[in-house]
Amino acid sequence: MSETAKRLAELGIVLPKAAAPFANYVPYVRTGGIAPGALPQLWVSGQLPLGPDGKLDERHRGKLGPDSPIDPAREAAERCAINLIAQAHAALGDLDKVVRVVRLGGFFNVASSFEALPQAMNGASDMMVNVFGDRGRHARTTVGVAHLPLNALAEVEAVFEISF
């Protein structure tokens, strides 16, 4: 069992089956690593906060507003991160091939303003650090958007540096 798989087990996280794309795109792309010393990268398409059953829980659906509680948004971002890790596992077969999490991009479905976007995105960031340790520390972007697929609260994409 890989070190990352052991860590997932310690955290009580069972990775779901990687979600199939909803439209005309691929779930991930491997690229790079051509220049001397450059490592390849794995770009994972945005993942929604689908549960282990592949469905979107009502708690993670809708729009955030000024008075919205942070917990559902944070949990949605965490769920997105788990789904990103599931896609990385599907692509690589072994999560120990993740050299580092390079970047996360977080999108939140907002009706107007929601000032706690950075704290909500911490759900995804914390998950990456909890699973990958220092390899999980990353750059990130967090934005509010007018609409997300399936009316989800959040969508998160990732770039991983990988080894073969």
| Tens place of pLDDT per residue across the chain (164 aa) | 789 999 999 999 999 999 999 899 999 999 986 677 778 999 999 999 999 999 999 999 999 999 999 999 999 999 999 999 999 999 999 999 999 999 999 999 999 889 999 999 999 999 999 999 999 999 999 999 999 999 999 999 999 999 97
Q: What was the pLDDT predicted at 32?
A: 84
Q: What was the pLDDT predicted at 77?
A: 98
Q: What was the pLDDT predicted at 112?
A: 87
> Are the CB atoms for 66 and 84 separated by under 8 Å?
no
Q: What was the pLDDT predicted at 39?
A: 85
Q: Provide the 3-class DSSP secondary structure of residue 149.
A: helix
Q: Select from 144, 140, 163 the least CA-distant residue to 153.
A: 144
Q: What is the DSSP string of 53-81?
A: TSSB-GGGBS-B-TT--HHHHHHHHHHHH
CA distance 69 to 61: 13
Q: What was the pLDDT predicted at 126?
A: 98
Phi, psi of 83 (to 5 degrees): -70, -35
> Are the CB atoms for 126 and 99 separated by under 8 Å?
no
CA distance 130 to 128: 5
- Evaluate if pTM is beyond 0.85: yes
